[in-house]
Structure 1
Amino acid sequence: MPDLTAVDALKEVAFWLERSRASTYRAEAFRNAAAAIDDLSPEQVATRTRNGQLKRVKGIGDRTFGVIRQVVEGDVPEYLAELRDEGAEPLASGGAALRAELRGDLHSHSEWSDGGSPIAEMARVARWRGRAYQVLTDHSPRLKIANGLSAERLAQQLDVVAEVDATYDDFRLLSGIEVDILDDGGLDQTDEMLERLDVVVASVHSKLRMERRAMTRRMMTAVADPHTNVLGHCTGRLVQGGRGKRPESEFNAKAVFAACAEFDVAVEINARPERQDPPDPLIEMALDAGCLFSIDTDAHAPGQLDFLDLGAERADAAGVPADRIVTTWPVERLLEWSHAKR
């Protein structure tokens, strides 16, 4: 990488660790080190590295100092080179042609809710990884455990999104929300704020074991809301990972997908390895129902933005045509669709 700085190197190490699903602690060590020296010029970093002063800075450990030292010496750090080699291959063995057609991602999180990185960093990495657009969809207020955004905080975030978006002429950062579907099917944010967003992903996060008929009504009500663009991780299942396993919610999938087709709501193919949601039979059912789809990463860290590989593999295996996947569309067509009902 030309003109590699110490901050660049530390952030890239963190990216590859996040991509490989290494422990959060390991990735955060490198991101914290990058933040610790971010205000220093390359010359200041070099001087303080050579005189040993940098070793005494909070957030700099032996491993991160070693990466910085090698950059100062004009080398690509050995650890970074190893991680680049390990990450050279896609995360999935299938779906390469479809993956190449994906232009964007409608579901991602920042440190404003339960993500780990600033908005600007999520945008920077999305562009680096070839996105034409990325939608920021932090959580809504009911999800307190995820630091969901009140209407006031969301309004403040929209200003930040606009500022970050304005720094690019070849990439769009779009505004959005992952809004909680309330028990009665209402959406957990004011209509006024939902009107201002580019994309609304509606997801169930509570009472996942609700009785089948009630859950069906709940989801169909949310799908019929004119603000809803995407039905997120529809079964709520977890199939692996640190949070353990969780069974699928019970609902009439045929009726829910018929509603999605009727109200022009895309069914999300959530690419997170622990979700893999919907299950394959439900992707096929949604395909038969005439639904649109959105392949999304649900990324909570920059390195997770590469999870698109996994979603593309599943969509390809199910035979989902590229034109029915809204994240293959150019941003102009995407926004025309997402705003059509508002």
Structure 2
Amino acid sequence: MNPARALRDIAFRLERAGEPTYRVRAFRQAAAVVDGLSPEELESRVRAGTLQALKGIGKATAGVIEDASHGRTPAYAAKLDEADVPDGGPLRAALRGDCHTHSEWSDGGSPIREMAETAQELGHEWIVLTDHSPRLTVARGLSAERLRDQMAEVARVNEELAPFRVLHGIEVDILDDGALDQTEELLAQLDFVVASVHSKLRMPAREMTPRMLAAVANPYVRVLGHCTGRMVHGRGRPESEFDAEKVFTACRENGVAVEINSRPERLDPPMRLLHQAVALGCEFAIDSDAHAPGQLDWQGYGCVRAAEAGLGPDRIVNTRTLDELLAG
């Protein structure tokens, strides 16, 4: 058993279960330390019991490395409860990709390549990288300069992982007047744009509705992200108010998919709005909104809700091949 792989597997399972970031980070950091050791040094340190002398390796992670090096299932892994994540049934099996993911470039916790490799392992053919736009400073939103730098990184990852493809996108903030938080020139260079409201979520419906309509009408927007902005866990957050019939009709007429956000604390839109969007003839994107590799497996939550709303693969944009997706 590969020790670094064992550490990353535990990190994945912790992320999928929604465990705190600091706990996950400990296992991913230890895996990176192991990657930097020669097989000889690793074997020597395991034999001598000196793994914890290395920065980034503590008692728990050293135990995993020792168990894996001796071919044993790590005791730490055996103690983990399996997250009760639904498998998503036939809809999940039909998904070819994920239209909304984040990396360490904004508020995600892992490199682009690690997100891509995990998506591959989960059976995807492509993912869209959608780090945040500049105004969302709390999420380290990407300036125009950083977004251009990221293009080069995405190109490198695609070269290394072909035929798997990372589409370079953005989760662009919908500004108060409905404009998008990035230049038209840069949006035109991206493969895919998800537009979401992140600020002034309690704006009155008479102002929120035209704000969302303006964003949906932008020719670069492909998905309307987590449309109500609600949070259903912890302290919670109420839904934004808007004229759903007008917004969903505009999505249909402009070829913009309504996101079924799979994050357990969001599960957005609520079922009554999801049923309304289905009745109005919208298309949908079942997205993880993953900020860590283990969270990519959350799409099952969205698939269950899509099936409950009567949706089949033909109206889910992530069931499409790469060429079909890019053709719009």
Question: Is 1:210 matched up with 2:206?
Answer: no
Question: Is 1:63 matched up with 2:60?
Answer: yes
1:264 maps to a residue whose letter is G
The aligned counterpart of 1:281 is 272
| Match for residue 318 of structure 2 among 310, 315, 327 | 327
Query: TM-score of the superposition, structure 2-length normalised?
Result: 0.97
The aligned counterpart of 2:240 is 249
Could you tell me how far apart the structure 1 residues matched to 2:299 and 2:43 are?
37
The aligned counterpart of 1:11 is 8
Post-superposition CA distance 1:100-119 (Å, at most 9, x none)? 11111000111110011111
Shift of 1:174: 1.1
User: Any stretches of 5+ residues in structure 2 without a counterpart?
Assistant: none
The aligned counterpart of 2:85 is 91
SS in 1 for 2:286: strand
Question: Is 1:220 matched up with 2:216?
Answer: no
Determine what percentage of the aligned residue pairs are the same residue.
58
Post-superposition CA distance 1:279-311 (Å, at most 9, x none)? 001111111111110000000111100001100
| Match for residue 119 of structure 1 among 112, 137, 141 | 112
Shift of 1:81: 4.7
Question: Is 1:229 matched up with 2:226?
Answer: no
The aligned counterpart of 1:295 is 286
2:176 maps to a residue whose letter is D
Shift of 1:82: 5.2
Alpha-carbon contact 2:262-2:298 (below 8 Å) kept: yes
Question: Is 1:194 matched up with 2:190?
Answer: no
The aligned counterpart of 2:258 is 267
Alpha-carbon contact 1:238-1:246 (below 8 Å) kept: yes
1:317 maps to a residue whose letter is E
* Number of equivalenced pairs: 328
Question: Is 1:238 matched up with 2:231?
Answer: yes
Alpha-carbon contact 2:60-2:76 (below 8 Å) kept: no
Question: Is 1:175 matched up with 2:172?
Answer: no
Question: Is 1:27 matched up with 2:24?
Answer: yes
* RMSD (CA atoms): 1.4
Alpha-carbon contact 1:49-1:55 (below 8 Å) kept: no
The aligned counterpart of 1:157 is 150
- Tell me which moved more, 265-274 or 41-50: 41-50
Question: Is 1:46 matched up with 2:43?
Answer: yes
Shift of 1:41: 2.4
Could you tell me how far apart the structure 1 residues matched to 2:257 and 2:39 are?
46
Shift of 1:74: 2.6
1:64 maps to a residue whose letter is T
| Match for residue 311 of structure 1 among 294, 298, 302 | 302
Could you tell me how far apart the structure 2 residues matched to 1:42 and 1:6 are?
11
Post-superposition CA distance 1:55-83 (Å, at most 9, x none)? 11111111100100112223332333554
Shift of 1:34: 1.3
2:265 maps to a residue whose letter is E
Alpha-carbon contact 1:5-1:42 (below 8 Å) kept: no
1:318 maps to a residue whose letter is A
SS in 1 for 2:52: helix
Alpha-carbon contact 2:194-2:222 (below 8 Å) kept: yes
Shift of 1:35: 2.1
